[in-house]
Amino acid sequence: MSLTSEPVIDRRPYRWVVLALSWAAFTMTAVDRSTWGPASVSVGEHLGVSLAGLGVFATGYYVGYVISNAAGGVLTDWLGPRVVIGCSLFAAGGFMVLFGETDSMATGLAFQAAVGVFAGCDYSAGVKLISQWFPPQDRGFAMGVFMTATSLGAVIANAIVPSLIAASGWRTSYHVFGAASMVIAVLCFALLRNGTHATSAPRAMPNLRPLAHNRDLWLLGLAGFGGLWGTYGFITWSNALMVKGSHISAVQAGIVVVIFGIAASVAKPLMGLLSDFFGDRRRIPTAIVLGTFVVALLGFGTRDSLTGFLWMAPLLGVAAYGYSPLMVALIPKLAGVRLAGSAAGATNAFWQLGSTIVPVVLGAVFQTTHSFFLAFATLAAGPLLGMLLMLGVREHGVTDPMPAVETEATAR
């Protein structure tokens, strides 16, 4: 069906406020997640954790993150994205602060998992808000801007955390970013407004059966698993691998990841804008970007100096994140706006399984082989799988049963 069967969505100026706040919330959870990369070695030394054991902390976070993505999407469609995004971000920030106080591995793992549990909800809430406030022909760009949060999180963390650690220890970075998350959460709760369909029906648990039988959403979820295997495997392990495998300094490794993140941040909205311009067709471009990601990871794995890493970082940044706005923009197209929150949460739960598994796998590979290249070849297997699966996705629109979308103010 054509996307014109979706409810009519006006281009109201307030949509830019929605996009800005959704992006700010998602950026803070990305910063919280990315803080572990540059801080991991210092935290491990303080807690007496081995190099392979550091991956368990990242996995602890992503276990919570996967759970909250699946549940957070349903909560978003049930309670509304404003409540979900404000409350979950505030709680995630609180547990970041608590992690900065930990002195044992067990407590640290518990707090990391708790951060992940609450940090996973703002993604589906943001996708739902953007789907409500932006018409289909504008969503590629809007989702591209929204998804810059994940790469900007890596930029901010790698630009600030090494200096904070050098100046005052690793705890400060968790205290600072946790408090900032709580402030953004309050702003979101105060200023965001849900888009509401013109219906007087009360809120109810969404019917998820159409999603369970949607073949293309399943393929999209599995393809994203492969993509995020490579992306978050790189974010989680690249600092430690460059320091331990190529013997560059932690600050130099941080610079490489900052350049990687800047390139990704520029690529995301441009990729989304191009998909809007060329008629909202996103399957083949996604497969091409994932294929480029495979080549970039293998190329990065052959470098052995700071100069080589700096040359490869921009291409890797574009490829490691360029597919994400295209995939996210496909979600309301394949599932409909009404179930966009649940579909976003469900697909991202599949995507984040890659993030959950890869830290432990990659740590074991590197500790066993001591091979920098084999570690990156292990990462490249994920986007290769994603590229093949994307070729099987069929792009089509879904009819939402509601006739129009209004703001809360105009619906009253």
Domain range summary for the chain, segments of one domain joined by +: 12-197+207-395
* Residue 78, CA atoms < 13 Å, CB-side half-sphere: 13
Q: Which pLDDT belongs to residue 154?
A: 75
Residue 5: predicted pLDDT: 47
- Dihedral, CA atoms, 249, 254, 260, 263, nearest 10 degrees? -130
Dihedral pair phi/psi, residue 405, rounded to 5°: -125, 135
Q: What pTM was estimated for this model as a whole?
A: 0.70
What gap in Å lies between CA 320 and CA 315, rounded to an integer?
Answer: 8
Give pLDDT tens digits along the chain (412 positions): 333 345 555 567 888 999 999 999 999 998 988 888 788 878 888 887 776 677 788 778 878 877 887 788 788 888 888 899 999 999 999 999 999 888 888 888 888 889 988 988 888 889 889 888 888 777 888 888 898 887 788 778 888 888 888 888 888 889 999 999 999 999 999 998 887 553 344 555 666 676 767 788 888 888 999 998 998 888 878 888 888 777 788 888 888 888 888 888 788 888 888 777 766 677 888 999 999 999 999 999 888 888 888 999 999 999 998 888 888 888 877 776 677 777 777 787 778 777 778 888 888 888 888 888 898 999 999 999 999 999 888 876 555 544 334 344 343 3
Structural fold of domain 12-197+207-395 = Growth Hormone; Chain: A; (1.20.1250)
pLDDT of residue 179: 94
Question: Residue 181's pLDDT is what?
Answer: 94
According to the model, what pLDDT value does residue 195 have? 73
**Tokens representing residue 235 in the block:** 């974010």
Which two structure tokens, joined as six digits, stand for 64?
């919570």
